[in-house]
């Protein structure tokens, strides 16, 4: 969704004027605002919310030609009203970091290195492992005292994570886990 | 949070204990400062003088793990001095209900304890029930010695300010000052975080908060409440979506082995929650779930009732070779789990580890850990590149239960994919592998509804979560819901399978066919209290302040002198207000039983000072409970116990040193317990403003590494002098489980405390480092203990014993 840029930016002078003002010795904050505008000319805005603590501070992503050119606190947000903390303010660097993992990687048993895989190879490996483990560890029934209960589960598959995910991912993650038959479905709530 | 972030501005006093909000929930300060400008008082209770302490009106230094001793004395002072809200207590809590005579506490142990099992038989922790109605008998006044209120008073009478000082280190006079400051400025709010929960008495720490706030009438009011400042962006939503071993469909208990049918489960869990379970089963299995086949009950996996399915159970089972495949998404246990050397051994025994991440983390590369031999580790590892939040769409739920939509702004780098797409693909692949199977074990995969569109997948899933009308429904008011419509709220959910909702507490997030999480009205606030009902959507039912019925008296009128939130409109015969009224039925007035259930999610419908064992009988279905109440495994009242590793004997009852329900070590040889003789200092750990949790993300951001380049240990000045350590010197910190070398920060922020007549030095470390990322360093969690709270399964990372010695070279160089 595109939202309209906030009014104060609309009211500031255009980029070229900003440079002219700088030459005339105007305040740094005005120049910053104006050069910010230059950078954001033609940018599309997308609203999101920060991904560190659980305050849920609103953020605005500014995107030009598919590139994230700026990320800042959302001034029209009811929790943070435009402000961000040191971590939130540093978020842009996470998207453009060259340290991101960009392709599926595999480490064979006993190996000391990663090797690249295609998504198809990686997910095929994973799906087959799920099936193998599920089939070889299935507990159909369980005895407690004199009663044999149907339990239909495996205790050999663990799912860990969710606090970094969206609600929709969490919902499917849990649904998938239980449908596979595991109750080892857990996330960072305690950690 | 019972309340929400912007509501903090409405408080007149803050008790912040177990949270360094100024660093770890920075934006809370925006609203806390607003309240402070209007005269609100801030009380900060913490073992470390940190940035939150620096803005507090009262700072109390407390020993890690001694919170119940301190809070017990605050509660006792409120009771002894009559500072409680007697009318609220009588109306909205179980104070007047009669408890069983045989209930008692002796030498720190409640009645019914089985030492061999570390468990209680809880039968005596109950009410005296009326034989005919099976409802609790009620006393005429709070002075009745058999009533809950009298039991509460007797229980906490031992917690004098002097006892609190001896155990916790908070001076007796300060205990009284805090109790009076908090009680005499209302509404008052309590903020806490992992500082309160990461203990072997975590649940009972929070029970103290519930009791204190009920006594003061602070629950259900603007500026009041018990507010958990949760640690991760969507830890609230992950809990709501039941990414917790014990839950399904939104805080509904998952079935155990002895629940082979929905009816067997209902006998333990009640008819009220059965309705939501049926809606969940309909969401998962669609038309395949029918009344005739128990709505597909047999397709749910049943837990072994005696087995530990928490993350600690996972690690223990991995170490035992039982857990074969571990799949971690955005979680980095090789930094954040306690007792890390043991975690490493456990991961090394897995067949396969799958890590879905932005970065190559300590968990993904655990086989590269310094000191490990990759050749000896036979675990296969897959590292799947995931998209970050600005690269995908969907909702998250913050601490205040605000469900917000995020738009995808940019594409993920390289071949990275959104977790939603990865999960969807893997499920379909596994289902395909089982295509044509006639084995009953594979039925859940074939019978589940799983056909999300490739475009707008997240919104389609949110629709399933929020709920649909499946066949025509006529509501009590005559309104007809047509099949295919989205459910408008919890009240529209049906017990017979004619509606569905994947998580009933989110019912209505798509009300009227619109995605309400996308709403953006940050201007309209009729309450003037910061509620903004048209901004995104809050569960349940866009309710901003839970239990708000308690803000009214018996007649449904706001308590005198309080800010009106909701009220009974006698003319319109309806509960109304500036917030969604928290009542079972908005048309049932104060003259009806439904109009007097301010705490309607309890069996009793009222707040529980004593967490008694209770199931409310169903009036229509004889022999089945309507709903039950939660009773902690370790007692109906909070009792103080020392941490598993503690430098002192339990002052209250030396025979019951620790929580009697904690079984530790669980795995002999892997969970050693240190003593003060070898490890004389108390260590507490926490996060910092510049790095966050495992640091997987923040340690890959250069700016943040410049702000906080490495892990340190903060030592009290007196201790550093004794050890002949100066700031910047390297020291070796060790516990019974591991050791590491870090630089020392010598500071008055930490102190040597006087506890039970002994000097107890307390040291602090952040836990955000590991061997991967731009900024690397040893992980503090090699030191910490993985003993857990018996009910919550939360580890005691806030209190363990360590030793600190200078590293020889550093001293020699001086």
Question: CATH number for the domain including B38?
Answer: 3.40.228.10
Single out the residue in B228, B263, B282 at which a domain terminates: B228
Q: Which of B486, B517, B548 is the last residue of a domain?
A: B517
| Residue A35 pLDDT | 56
The answer to the question of residue B798 being in a domain is yes
Q: What is the pLDDT of residue B763?
A: 98
Mean pLDDT of B50-67: 98
pLDDT for residue B281 is more than 90: yes
Q: What is the mean pLDDT of residues B159-177?
A: 98
* Total tally of structural domains belonging to chain B: 4
Asked if pLDDT for residue A19 goes beyond 60, the answer is no
Residues B100, B22 share a domain:
yes
Tell me the pLDDT of chain A averaged across its residues. 87
Residue B475 within any structural domain of the chain: yes
Supply φ then ψ for residue B152, to 5 degrees: -60, -45
Interface contacts A/B by beta carbons within 8 Å = 482
Q: Is the pLDDT of residue A11 over 80?
A: no
Query: Same domain for B300 and B319?
Result: no
Assigned domain for B170 exists = yes
Do both A86 and A144 map to the same domain? no
Arithmetic mean of pLDDT, B764-787: 98
Grade residue B254 by pLDDT with cuts at 50, 70 and 90: very high
Selection from B240, B235, B229, B233 nearest residue B194 by Cα: B229
Residue B730 sits in the same domain as residue B805:
yes
Residue A3 pLDDT > 60, yes or no? no
State the pLDDT confidence band at A41, using cuts at 50, 70 and 90. confident
| Residue A12 covered by a domain | yes
Tell me what the mean pLDDT of segment B494-520 comes to: 97
Q: What pLDDT was estimated at residue A174?
A: 98
Structure confidence at residue B808 as a pLDDT band (50, 70, 90): confident
Q: Is residue B320 domain-shared with residue B299, that is, in the same domain?
A: no
B126 in any annotated domain: no
**Are A140 and A155 within 8 A, CB to CB?**
no
B326: chain A residues, CB-CB within 8 Å: 157-158, 160
Residue B206 scores a pLDDT above 60: yes
- B251 touching A, CB under 8 A? no
Mean pLDDT of A123-138: 98
| Among candidate residues A39, A73, A96, the one where a domain is terminated | A96
pLDDT band at A39 (very low <50, low <70, confident <90, very high): confident
Residue B343: both structure tokens together: 């975690």
Comparing CA positions, the residue from B563, B553, B564 lying closest to residue B596 is B553
Q: Do B158 and B217 sit in the same domain of this protein?
A: yes
Both B180 and B318 in a single domain?
no
Query: Is the model's pLDDT at A16 over the cut of 70?
Result: no
pLDDT score recorded for residue A25: 43
Indicate if A161 and A85 belong to the same structural domain: no
Nearest to A174 by CA among B280, B95, B366: B280
In a domain, A20, yes or no: yes
pLDDT grade for A167, boundaries at 50, 70 and 90: very high
HSE-up of residue B645 (Cα within 13 Å, Cβ side): 33
pLDDT tops 90 at residue A4: no
Report the residue of chain A nearest B797, measured CA to CA: A191
Q: Is residue B811 predicted with pLDDT exceeding 80?
A: no
Domain at A73, CATH number: 2.20.25.90
Q: Strand B480-481 and strand A105-107: pairing?
A: unpaired
B217 and B258 in a single domain? The answer is no
Kindly state the average pLDDT of the residues A28-37.
Answer: 54
Kindly tell me if the per-residue pLDDT of A9 is higher than 50: no
Residue A88 maps to a domain: yes
Instruction: State yes or no: pLDDT of B804 exceeds 80.
Output: yes
- Report how many domains make up chain A: 2
Our CA-based measurement puts residue B403 at a distance from the nearest CA of chain A, in whole angstroms, of 9
- CB nearest to B394's CB, from A117, A157, A167: A167
Single residue among A96, A126, A158 that ends a domain in this structure: A96
The last residue of a domain, from among A42, A64, A96: A96
Segment B678-709, tens digit of pLDDT: 999 999 999 999 999 999 999 999 999 999 99
Same domain for B293 and B318: no
**CATH number of B322's domain:** 3.40.50.740
Q: B472, B487, B517: which is the final residue of a domain?
A: B517
Residues A74 and A151 in one domain: no
B231 and A53: CB-CB below 8 Å?
yes
Tell me whether residues A104 and B384 touch, CB distance under 8 A.
yes
DSSP of B648-694, one letter per residue?
S--SS-TTS-S-TT----SSTTTS----TTT--EEEEEE--SSS-TT
Q: Cβ A156–B325 below 8 Å, yes or no? A: yes
Phi, psi of B533 (to 5 degrees): -65, -15
CB within 8 Å: A1 and B241: no
Q: Are the beta carbons of B383 and A176 separated by less than 8 Å?
A: no
Average pLDDT over residues B613-635: 96
Confidence of residue A36 (pLDDT cuts 50, 70, 90): low
Residues listed for chain A:
191
Are B161 and B280 contained in the same domain?
no
Range of the domain at A79: 7-96
Backbone angles phi, psi at B118, to 5 degrees: 55, 40
State how beta strands B13-17 and B188-192 pair. parallel
How many whole angstroms separate alpha carbon B194 and alpha carbon B752? 23
pLDDT of residue A12: 38
Whether residue B392 sits in one domain with residue B317: yes
- Is there a single domain that holds both residue B41 and residue B79? yes
Instruction: Centre a 10 Å sphere on the Cβ of residue B630 and count the other Cβ atoms it contains.
Output: 14
Q: Is B372 on the interface with A (CB under 8 A)?
A: no
| Residue in B closest to A150 by C-alpha | B260
pLDDT mean over B148-168? 98
Q: Is ipTM > 0.85 here?
A: yes
Which domain, by its residues, includes B86? 5-112+140-228
The answer on pLDDT for B797 being more than 60 is yes
Q: Tell me whether residues A95 and B388 touch, CB distance under 8 A.
A: yes
Average of per-residue pLDDT across B65-84: 98
Looking at the structure, tell me whether residues B208 and B321 fall in a common domain.
no
Examine the pLDDT at B540 and tell me if it is beyond 60. Answer: yes
Least confident of A22-26, A143-147, B2-6, B160-164: A22-26
Q: Is residue A124 situated within a structural domain?
A: no
Residues of A in contact with B411 (CB under 8 A): 66
Query: Using the beta-carbon criterion (under 8 Å), do A167 and B444 form an inter-chain contact?
Result: no
pLDDT over 80 at B214, yes or no: yes
Average pLDDT of the residues of chain B: 97
């Amino acid at each position: 969704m595109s939202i309209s840029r906030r009014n104060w930016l609309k009211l500031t002078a255009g980029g070229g004027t900003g440079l002219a003002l700088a030459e005339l010795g105007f305040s740094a904050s005005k120049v910053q605002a104006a050069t910010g505008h230059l950078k954001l000319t033609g940018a599309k805005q997308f609203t999101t919310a920060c991904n560190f603590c659980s305050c849920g501070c609103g953020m605005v992503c500014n995107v030009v030609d598919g590139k994230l050119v700026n990320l800042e606190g959302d001034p029209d947000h009811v929790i943070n009203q435009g402000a961000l903390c040191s971590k939130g303010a540093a978020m842009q660097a996470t998207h453009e970091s060259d340290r991101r993992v960009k392709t599926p990687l595999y480490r064979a048993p006993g190996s000391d290195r990663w090797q690249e895989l295609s998504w198809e190879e990686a997910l095929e490996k994973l799906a087959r492992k799920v099936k193998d483990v599920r089939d070889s560890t299935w507990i159909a029934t369980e005895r407690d005292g004199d009663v044999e209960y149907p339990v239909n589960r495996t205790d050999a598959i663990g799912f860990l994570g969710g606090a970094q995910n969206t609600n929709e991912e969490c919902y499917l993650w849990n649904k998938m886990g239980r449908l596979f038959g595991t109750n080892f479905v857990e996330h960072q709530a305690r950690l | 949070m019972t309340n929400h972030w912007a509501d903090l501005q409405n408080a007149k006093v803050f008790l912040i204990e177990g949270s360094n909000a100024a660093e770890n929930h920075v934006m809370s300060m925006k609203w806390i400062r607003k309240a402070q400008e209007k005269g609100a008082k801030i009380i900060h209770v913490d073992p470390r003088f940190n940035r939150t302490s620096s803005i507090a009106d009262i700072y109390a230094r407390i020993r890690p793990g001694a919170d119940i001793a301190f809070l017990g004395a605050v509660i006792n002072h409120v009771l002894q001095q009559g500072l409680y809200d007697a009318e609220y207590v009588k109306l909205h809590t179980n104070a007047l209900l009669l408890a069983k005579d045989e209930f008692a506490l002796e030498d720190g142990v409640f009645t019914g304890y089985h030492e061999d099992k570390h468990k209680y038989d809880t039968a005596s922790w109950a009410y005296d029930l009326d034989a005919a109605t099976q409802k609790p008998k009620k006393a005429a006044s709070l002075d009745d010695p058999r009533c809950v209120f009298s039991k509460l008073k007797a229980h906490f009478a031992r917690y004098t300010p002097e006892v609190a000082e001896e155990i916790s280190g908070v001076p007796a006079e300060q205990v009284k000052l805090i109790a009076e400051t908090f009680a005499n400025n209302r509404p008052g709010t309590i903020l806490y975080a992992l500082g309160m929960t990461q203990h072997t008495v975590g649940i009972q720490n929070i029970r103290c908060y519930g009791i204190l706030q009920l006594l003061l009438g602070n629950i259900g009011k603007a500026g009041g409440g018990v507010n958990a400042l949760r640690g991760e962006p969507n830890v609230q939503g992950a809990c709501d979506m039941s990414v917790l071993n014990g839950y399904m469909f939104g805080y509904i208990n998952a079935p155990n082995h002895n629940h082979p049918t929905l009816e067997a489960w209902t006998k333990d869990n009640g008819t009220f929650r059965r309705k939501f379970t049926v809606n969940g089963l309909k969401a998962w299995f669609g038309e395949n779930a029918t009344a005739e086949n128990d709505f597909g009950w047999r397709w749910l996996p049943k837990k072994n009732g005696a087995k530990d399915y928490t993350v600690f159970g996972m690690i223990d089972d991995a170490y035992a070779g039982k857990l074969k495949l571990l799949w971690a998404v955005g979680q980095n246990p090789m930094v954040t789990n306690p007792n890390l050397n043991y975690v490493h051994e456990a991961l090394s025994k897995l067949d396969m580890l799958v890590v879905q991440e932005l970065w190559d983390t300590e968990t993904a590369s655990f086989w590269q850990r310094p000191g490990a031999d990759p050749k000896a580790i036979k675990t296969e590892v897959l590292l799947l590149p995931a998209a970050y939040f600005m690269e995908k769409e969907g909702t998250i739920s913050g601490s205040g239960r605000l469900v917000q939509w995020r738009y995808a702004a940019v594409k993920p780098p390289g071949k990275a994919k959104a977790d939603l797409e990865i999960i969807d693909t893997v499920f379909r692949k596994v289902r395909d592998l089982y295509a044509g199977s006639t084995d009953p074990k594979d039925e859940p995969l074939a019978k589940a509804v799983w056909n999300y569109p490739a475009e707008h997948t997240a919104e389609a899933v949110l629709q399933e979560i929020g709920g649909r009308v499946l066949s025509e429904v006529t509501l009590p008011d005559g309104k007809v819901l047509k099949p295919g419509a989205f459910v408008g709220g919890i009240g529209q959910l049906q017990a017979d399978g004619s509606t569905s909702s994947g998580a009933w507490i989110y019912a209505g997030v798509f009300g009227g066919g619109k995605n309400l999480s996308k709403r953006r009205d940050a201007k309209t606030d009729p309450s003037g209290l910061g509620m903004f009902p048209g901004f995104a959507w809050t569960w349940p039912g866009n309710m901003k302040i839970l239990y708000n019925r308690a803000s009214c008296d018996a007649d449904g009128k706001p308590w005198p002198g309080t800010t009106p939130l909701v009220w009974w409109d006698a003319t319109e015969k309806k509960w109304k207000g500036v917030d969604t009224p928290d009542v079972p039925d908005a048309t049932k007035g104060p003259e009806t039983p439904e109009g007097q259930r301010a705490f309607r999610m309890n069996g009793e419908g009222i707040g529980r000072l004593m967490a008694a064992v209770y199931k409310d009988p169903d009036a229509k279905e004889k022999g089945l409970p309507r709903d039950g109440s939660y009773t902690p495994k370790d007692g109906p009242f909070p009792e103080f116990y020392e941490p598993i590793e503690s430098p002192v004997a339990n002052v209250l009852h030396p025979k019951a040193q620790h929580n009697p329900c904690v079984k530790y070590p669980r795995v002999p040889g892997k969970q050693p317990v240190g003593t003060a003789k070898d490890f004389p200092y108390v260590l507490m750990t926490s996060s910092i403003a510049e790095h966050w949790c495992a640091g997987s993300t923040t340690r890959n951001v250069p700016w943040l590494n410049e702000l906080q380049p490495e892990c340190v240990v903060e030592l009290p000045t007196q201790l550093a002098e004794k050890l002949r350590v100066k700031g910047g010197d390297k020291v070796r910190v060790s516990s019974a489980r591991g050791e590491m070398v870090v630089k020392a920060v010598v500071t008055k922020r930490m102190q040597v405390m006087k506890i039970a007549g002994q000097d107890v030095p307390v040291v602090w470390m952040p836990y955000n480092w590991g061997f991967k990322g731009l900024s690397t360093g040893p992980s503090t969690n090699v030191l910490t203990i993985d003993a857990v709270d018996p009910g919550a399964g939360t580890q005691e990372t806030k209190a363990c014993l360590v030793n600190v010695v200078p590293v020889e070279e550093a001293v020699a160089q001086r």
